[in-house]
C-alpha cells in the first residue's frame, strides 16, 4: 500500500469510528469484480464501504482501501438493492387462502381510505422469498380490481414490524380503469361501475366532491365546515398534489381517458400495467406521466392484455418516458413474479443491460420519489446492495448476498 493509500485508509477508518462509536459490527465492505453503481460507468474491481446503515465510500479498489479487519463480502457482480416498483406482496400471502389475502376488498368500488399499512405483513414468506433474489425495496399495497381500491406504501423487505422497514406509509392511491374496474362478486350486474364511462364518471364525481370538501374546509364560519370524511381526506391529498394516482389501465382508449382526468384536475398520475401504452406514446410523453409497465412475462390473454409486448419498456424509454418494471400480481401460487427476471426479459427485447437494470433500481426510485435514499450506490444513500455470482439476468446465476441498511439479511444462494 502506498503512503497516500495508507493515509486514506486511516482517514476512512477514523471517519467510520466517528460515525459509529459503539457498533463495529455495523461496518461492512463489499468488493465486486464489476460494480454497477447506476450513478456512473460500472466499476471494475470496485469497493463499497458501509457504516451506520449508509454508504460511506464507493470506488475502484485501488483508490478505496478497506480498513483492516472489516468484514468483507465478495461477488462477481454487485448492484444496488433492487426495487419492485409495484407489487401486492405483504398484503397477499403465499398460501393463497382467505386468511392471507388482504390485497382487494370488492364490497365498495371506492375505498381510498383503506390503508396498506394496516394490512402489510413484513413477516410474510413472500417478502423473504423475493428478498433472496436481491429485492430490497417494494412499492406494495391494494391490488387492481376496484375503481379505487386503497392506498399503497413503500417499504424495505426486512424488519419484524411495518414501522421498522417503512419508507413511506402512504405512497399512492390505487385506481383501476377498463374492464377490471367493473363491479365483481354477487349481483355484480346490479352494482356500479358497469361500463367504462360509468367508471370515469364515478372517479370524476369523487374528485369534484373532494374539491368542494376542500373549499368548505376553509370557510370562515367553522360551523359550516364539513365533518371529517376519511375517503375525501385521502383524495384531498391527491388534489393538493401530495399523492399521485396509480392508475392500472391497459387499453389505449382507457389510457387516454386516464390522461384526460389527470389534465382536468391537474393531479399527479402514474400509469400502471399499460399494455397498449406503446400505441399512445406521444400522448403519455406530452402529459409527462411515468409508466410502471406490467410484468414482462404477464400472460397475454384474450382480454385487455391481448396486445402486450416484450418491447414496450424499450419503446417507452427510448421515447423519453420514465419507465420502471414490476412483479405485478398473480392470482395463483406463488402469487408474485420476481422483478429481476422481468427486467431480464426487457434486456433481451430492446433495452441494454444497464437500461434494464435501471428499471428496477434508479429509474424505479425516481418514479417512486425515493431516489434520495435508494436506487444507486452513492455516498450517503442507504446501504442496500445485492451480490451475484454472475450476470444477474442469467437464469443460471445466483443472488449470493443481500444487504439492507448495512445489515446482511441473506447469504443463501438463490
Which percentage of the chain shows pLDDT scores above 90?
84
Q: For the chain, how many helices (H) and strands (E)?
A: 11, 16
**pTM of the full structure:** 0.93
Among the residue ranges 154-158, 172-176, 243-247, 335-339, the one predicted with the least confidence is 335-339
Residue 162 predicted with pLDDT over 80: yes
User: Residue 369 is inside which H or E element, if any?
Assistant: none
More confident of the two residues 16 and 74: 74
Least reliable range by pLDDT among 242-256, 329-343, 370-384: 329-343
For 106, 178, 193, 250, the CA distances from 188, given in Å and listed in that order, are: 10, 16, 9, 22
SS3 200: helix
**pLDDT(8) > 50:** no
Task: pLDDT band for 374, please (50, 70, 90 cuts).
Answer: very high
| Residue 333 confidence (pLDDT) | 66
Three-state DSSP at 3 gives helix
Q: Tell me what the mean pLDDT of segment 94-103 comes to.
A: 87
The answer, yes or no, to whether residue 11 has pLDDT greater than 90, is no
Q: Is the pLDDT of residue 17 over 50?
A: no
**What is the per-residue pLDDT for 344?**
97
State yes or no: pLDDT of 144 exceeds 70: yes
Average pLDDT, the chain: 92
Amino acid at each position: 500500500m502506498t503512503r497516500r493509500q495508507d493515509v486514506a485508509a486511516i482517514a476512512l477508518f477514523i471517519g467510520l469510528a466517528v460515525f459509529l462509536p459503539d457498533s463495529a459490527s455495523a461496518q461492512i465492505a463489499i468488493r465486486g469484480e464489476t460494480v454497477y453503481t447506476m450513478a456512473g460507468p460500472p466499476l471494475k474491481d470496485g469497493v463499497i464501504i458501509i457504516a451506520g446503515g449508509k454508504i460511506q465510500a464507493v470506488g475502484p479498489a485501488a483508490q478505496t482501501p478497506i480498513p483492516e479487519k472489516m468484514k468483507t463480502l465478495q461477488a462477481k457482480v454487485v448492484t444496488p438493492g433492487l426495487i419492485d416498483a409495484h407489487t401486492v406482496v405483504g398484503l397477499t400471502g403465499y398460501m393463497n387462502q382467505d386468511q392471507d389475502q388482504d390485497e382487494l376488498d370488492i364490497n365498495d368500488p371506492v375505498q381510498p381510505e383503506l390503508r396498506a399499512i394496516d394490512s402489510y405483513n413484513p413477516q410474510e414468506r413472500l417478502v423473504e422469498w423475493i428478498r433472496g433474489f436481491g429485492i430490497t425495496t417494494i412499492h406494495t399495497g391494494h391490488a387492481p380490481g376496484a375503481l379505487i381500491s386503497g392506498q399503497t406504501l413503500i417499504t424495505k423487505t426486512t424488519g419484524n414490524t411495518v414501522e421498522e422497514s417503512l419508507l413511506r406509509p402512504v405512497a399512492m392511491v390505487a385506481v383501476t380503469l377498463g374492464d377490471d374496474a367493473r363491479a365483481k362478486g354477487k349481483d355484480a350486474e346490479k352494482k356500479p361501475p358497469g361500463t367504462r364511462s360509468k367508471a370515469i364518471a364515478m372517479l370524476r364525481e369523487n374528485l369534484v366532491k373532494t374539491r368542494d370538501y376542500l373549499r368548505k374546509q376553509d370557510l370562515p364560519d367553522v360551523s359550516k365546515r364539513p365533518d371529517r370524511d376519511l375517503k375525501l381526506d385521502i383524495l384531498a391529498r391527491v388534489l393538493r398534489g401530495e399523492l399521485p394516482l396509480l392508475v392500472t389501465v391497459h387499453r389505449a382508449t382507457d389510457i387516454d381517458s386516464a390522461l384526460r382526468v389527470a389534465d382536468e384536475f391537474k393531479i399527479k398520475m402514474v400509469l400502471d400495467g399499460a399494455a397498449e401504452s406503446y400505441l399512445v406514446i406521444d400522448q403519455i410523453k406530452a402529459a409527462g406521466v411515468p409508466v410502471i409497465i406490467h410484468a414482462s412475462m404477464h400472460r397475454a390473454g384474450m382480454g385487455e392484455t391481448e396486445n402486450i409486448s416484450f418491447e414496450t419498456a424499450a419503446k417507452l424509454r427510448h421515447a423519453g418516458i420514465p419507465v420502471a418494471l414490476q412483479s405485478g400480481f398473480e392470482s395463483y401460487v406463488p402469487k408474485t413474479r420476481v422483478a429481476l427476471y422481468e427486467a431480464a426479459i426487457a434486456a433481451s427485447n430492446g433495452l441494454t443491460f444497464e437500461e434494464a437494470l435501471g428499471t428496477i433500481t434508479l429509474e424505479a426510485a425516481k418514479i417512486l420519489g425515493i431516489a434520495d435514499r435508494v436506487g444507486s450506490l452513492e455516498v450517503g444513500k442507504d446501504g442496500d446492495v445485492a451480490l451475484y455470482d454472475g450476470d444477474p439476468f442469467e437464469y443460471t446465476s445466483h443472488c449470493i448476498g443481500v444487504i439492507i441498511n448495512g445489515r446482511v439479511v441473506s447469504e443463501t444462494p438463490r
